[in-house]
Structure 1
């Protein structure tokens, strides 16, 4: 599991102790600020983050 939150005028992804981990652009993360174009991978899914 992972959570995406908006805080301090930025978006963040936080891994919630998931079994397989959470990755941003291929790197494992516990918490990471997101930028447009980032690829979030978790549980066999890939999500592209775009800020509009």
Structure 2
């Protein structure tokens, strides 16, 4: 995976972490958490394929 794409995904994960602190609605929190986990899994899996 290109470094630029990895950086964009990591930036999005960080943005979601910040938003989770402000979103009191359980559904929004769970949605952000799910998206973060999916994005992190993409990063993790791309690292495995490159090695």
TM-score by length of 2: 0.22
Higher strand content, 1 or 2:
1
Higher helix content, 1 or 2:
2
Question: Which has the higher relative contact order, 1 or 2, with Cα contacts under 8 A spaced 6 or more apart?
Answer: 2
TM-score by length of 1: 0.22
